Structure 1
Amino acid sequence: MKTYPYILIIEDHEVVSAAVEALVMEDFPEASFRKAGSFPKGKKLLTEGPPVDLIVLDVDIPGGESYKMVETLRSIQPNVNVLVFTGQDENPHAIRFLKAGANGFLSKNAPFEQCAVAVKMILNGKKYVSDTVQEIITSSFFDKSPSSDESYDSALSPRETEVMELLLQGKWTKDIALELNLNPTTVSTHKAKIFQKMDVTNVIDLYKKYYSL
């Protein structure tokens, strides 16, 4: 039984590709890597090889398809995790790639060690969003009008609505518990009910469901 991850790095700069591999191996020393210097080569490796656990994808890759790349990769392996790792600005590209289905977005301008953090979080079944992207999402929350579908509001209790608003502001469970004077376990219960009623599994999808990005 495989206990180590298969990772496909689609990156045309060999130095960056090697650095990503070295960082990831600090946490996953038995990880297996495949590398592609172009998007067509990445698709070929994904098609011909065994399933991979994570794709680290450069946006500016030769032969790339912009925001369609995540969808294209998922058409080959539906459940593959995708971390977008790019030199492009986080605003507006981060939200667009997250909306396209990426599991995380990391700027190459961030401390390089964050790449290892992002990879570890995604391989553990979580989404990765940097502090900068979280601020972008929070700003968008205040700048945009809510969806015309108000049925979501009626499905939530007043307390659940309070918790949801704070989640969408980027606050963590312990912060919400302090602000609302609740036990963190109670907040977690409200959070689970919110996700169930909104038919989502994480805060990013909750934001996308409730607000038009």
Structure 2
Amino acid sequence: MTPIRVGIVDDYDVIRAGLERLFARYDDLCVVATAKNGLEALELVSHDALDVLILDIAMPGHGAVDVLEKILSNQPDIKVLIFTGYPEQRYALPMIRLGARGYVDKASPLLDIVEAVRMVAAGRSYFSSKVRELMADAVRPGTMPGEGVDLTAREFQIFLRLAAGETVTEIARALSLSDVTISSHRSRLLTKLKLSSNSHLTRFALENRFLN
């Protein structure tokens, strides 16, 4: 049996090393590459043949939202599994919309991540009961949980960048879009979230744990 080829992206050495030791216990799992930030993640998937990429959300440089979008636009066959300490109610739905095949909380039992890797490698999805509830709620109005706001994947991506202090021009350059397009998204974001400025976006993001 050919082992499942796994890549791990996390900025903490202890997490990467711990997952490598965990997967080494199983003959059907093989860690072929690791990375500690978004830029290294993009280089990793361009050089290594992977079945499953385990991706943290909070990383230096390119964030997981941008990394996930770029990876799946270029290599749609890679199954991306989000492994993070960020709360499901904030990040799960946007990451699923961007193409993540699973979402595992770092506080989960170790065997959950093993099961998740196997399931997504087999072409299935892996979501906790909490995430499944969020997905069920998403068919009703209000899919930014707790706020009654439905953001598209692109709007969520721009929301995170604006909240982090990036300018419209910086975001446009990073996403290869025009300033006009980003400004339009910004206006819709402010309207949907009932906010009036970028500083309010940042405060909203901090208060609701979208940013550290």
**Class of the TM-score when normalised by the shorter of the 2 chains:** 0.5 to 0.7
CA distance in 2, matches of 1:34, 1:66: 17
Q: Can you give the 5+ residue segments of structure 1 that lack an aligned partner in the other structure?
A: 146-213
Task: State how many pairs are aligned.
Answer: 143
Distance 2:55 2:141 in 1: 30
Of the structure 1 ranges 61-70 and 128-137, higher mean CA displacement relative to structure 2 is found in 61-70
Change beyond 3 A, Cα 1:142–1:71: closer
* CA-based RMSD: 2.2
> Pairwise mapping of residues 44-193 of structure 1 onto structure 2 (< 5 A)?
44-47=43-46, 49-141=47-139
CA shift at 1:52, angstroms?
Answer: 0.9
Is the CA contact 1:46–1:76 (under 8 Å) kept in the aligned structure 2? Answer: no
| 2:22 alignment counterpart | 23
Q: Work out whether residues 55 and 82 of structure 1, in 8 Å CA contact, stay in contact via their aligned partners in 2.
A: yes
Return the alpha-carbon distance in structure 2 between the equivalents of residues 139 and 9 of structure 1.
30
Instruction: Give how far 1:58 is off.
Output: 0.5
Q: Give the drift of 1:56.
A: 0.3
Q: 1:144/1:41 Cα in 2 relative to 1: closer, same or farther (>3 Å)?
A: closer
Structure 2 unpaired stretches of 5+: 144-212
User: Separation in 1 of the partners of 2:29 and 2:9?
Assistant: 20
**Could you tell me whether the CA contact under 8 Å between 1:4 and 1:28 is conserved in 2?**
yes
- C-alpha separation in 1, matches of 2:70 and 2:48: 17
For the residue of structure 2 that corresponds to 1:83, the secondary structure is: strand
Instruction: State the percentage of identical aligned residues.
Output: 27
- Amino acid in structure 1 at the alignment position of 2:38: F
TM-score between the two structures when normalised by the length of structure 2 = 0.61
Query: Matches of 2:65 and 2:29 in 1, distance apart?
Result: 31
* Counterpart in the other structure of 1:38: 37
**Structure 1 stretches of at least 4 aligned residues deviating more than 4 Å after TM superposition:** 142-145
Distance 1:138 1:76 in 2: 29
- The answer to whether the Cα contact below 8 Å between 1:56 and 1:82 also exists between their aligned partners in 2 is yes
Cα displacement string for residues 49-76 of structure 1 (whole angstroms, at most 9, x for unaligned residues): 2321111001001113342321111234
Q: Is the 8 A contact 1:46 1:52 kept in 2?
A: yes
Look up the match of 1:13: 12
Checking the alignment, whether the CA contact within 8 Å between 1:8 and 1:33 is kept in structure 2 is yes
CA shift, 1:143, in A, is 5.2
Question: What is the identity, as a one-letter code, of the residue corresponding to 2:102?
Answer: G
Q: Of the two, which has the highest radius of gyration? A: 1
Greater shift in the superposed pair: 121-130 or 107-116: 107-116
The answer on whether the counterparts of 1:82 and 1:104 sit within 8 Å (CA) in structure 2 is: yes
Mapped contact 1:10–1:57 kept (Cα < 8 A): yes
CA shift in 2, pair 1:61/1:28, >3 Å: farther
- Tell me if structure 2 keeps the 8 A contact 1:23–1:115: no
How far the C-alpha of 1:123 sits from its partner, in A, is: 1.2
Specify the code of the residue in structure 2 equivalent to 1:120: R
TM-score normalised to structure 1 length? 0.60
Residue-by-residue CA offset, 1:183-203 (whole Å, 9 max, x unaligned): xxxxxxxxxxxxxxxxxxxxx
SS in 2 for 1:67: helix
SS at match of 1:31: strand
The 1:101/1:30 distance shift into structure 2, 3 A limit, reads closer
**Between 123-132 and 27-36, the greater mean CA deviation after superposition:** 27-36
Encode CA deviations 1:63-112: one digit per residue, 9 max, x unaligned: 13342321111234221110011111100210110011011111112223
